[in-house]
Amino acid sequence: MRRRDFIAGFTGLAAAWPLAARAQKPEGMRRIGFLRAAPPPEHELDALLRALAEHGYVQGRNFVLVPQWGDGNVTRLSELAIALVNQGVDIIVTEGTLGVRAAVAVTATIPIVTASAADPYIGGLIKNLSRPGANVTGFASMERDISSKIFEIIKEMVPGLHRIAVLSARSIWPIFAPGQDEAANALGITYTYFDMPQAEAVGTAMSQAVAAGAQGAVMRGSPYFSSIQRRVIVDTAAENRLPTIYERRDDAERGGLVSYAPDVQGQYRATAEYVVRILAGANPGELPIQQPTKFEMVVNLKTAKALGIEIPATLLARADEVIE
């Protein structure tokens, strides 16, 4: 069975179980909740499940995955978090600052582990990264703080670039906004924010960006879009011939010009280790919020050629992967 079929079927089954039945579980069977605004990319889900298996947690044998994945609409995170609590999960895995905040709002007792959060302090919920306290821990992506690096890469790729469009959803834009002005000013770049409330609105947003004279674009907030929606974003960037930098390596693999981001698959594997430790009795509030130590840059030369861009050799030399 293909993983995407498994995801769709699994989500449908979870929604169909009666609430009383969900609350009952065989002795020794743990329930690992998974909260996300959109279904996770297949390879990231695989990374989590494989790492859990390596630590002795095999799905169907001693744990069940209880997914609550939305359709990319972040306003549904609260109801999805409530559904997980009602399903009697032992722990909640999530991704994204808004996912953590939605989970914290509905439970102070169920442990919460984030695989990736743009803001390591989760909007002020965490006061101390080494001892986060309460029921939250996990891994930061630092995507909020790498604006200067992202702007630097796209500027190096596009000769004479000085106007950039930043595309994101208004509900999550405040996470990324800090530091954008400073980064742009340092590089002599002017950026304009374009609202993209749903991935399907990317056509309008990119058309507006091109009309406004944008020479390149930056996508922010990938965890809140499904793989299908992100495919639409990559295709729309190509249709508008707008050089765009992304936050996930698979966006570059599926045709995006370039991506720069932490090793998210690695963070999902590390998340599994935290899950295992917590299920064994560790206090999540005493497990440090970890920041990424590895960032990956993936360059798609095929897309660069289609856009008429010659990637500087110095940039290619720094790339972790070059797709030809």
Kind plus residue range of the DSSP H or E element containing 6:
helix 3-16
State the pTM of this model: 0.85
- For residues 118 and 167, membership in a common domain is answered with no
What confidence tens digit (pLDDT) does each residue in 285-308 have?
Answer: 999 999 988 899 999 999 999 999
Q: What share of the chain is helix, strand, coil (3-state, %, to 5)?
A: 45, 20, 35
- For residues 135 and 154, membership in a common domain is answered with no
Q: Which domain holds residue 233?
A: 143-262+295-323
Question: 24 pLDDT exceeds 60?
Answer: no
- For residues 151 and 133, membership in a common domain is answered with no
- For residues 185 and 217, membership in a common domain is answered with yes
- For residues 169 and 100, membership in a common domain is answered with no
**Torsion over CA of 100, 105, 107 and 112, rounded to 10 degrees?**
10
Q: Which has the minimum average pLDDT: 93-102, 182-191, 217-226, 250-259?
A: 217-226
CA separation for the pair 255, 252 (Å, rounded) = 5
- For residues 147 and 225, membership in a common domain is answered with yes
- For residues 236 and 211, membership in a common domain is answered with yes
Question: 11 pLDDT exceeds 70?
Answer: no
Question: 112 pLDDT exceeds 80?
Answer: yes
- For residues 192 and 242, membership in a common domain is answered with yes
Parallel, antiparallel or unpaired: strands 295-300 and 258-262: antiparallel
According to DSSP, the residues that pair with 49 across neighbouring strands are none
Average pLDDT score, the chain: 87
Average pLDDT over residues 83-95: 97
CATH of residue 60: 3.40.50.2300
Band (pLDDT 50/70/90 cuts) for residue 122 is confident
Q: How far apart are the first and last CA of the chain?
A: 30
What's the pLDDT score for residue 6? 40
What's the pLDDT score for residue 144? 66
Question: 263 pLDDT exceeds 70?
Answer: yes
Structural domain tally of the chain?
Answer: 2
Question: 121 pLDDT exceeds 60?
Answer: yes
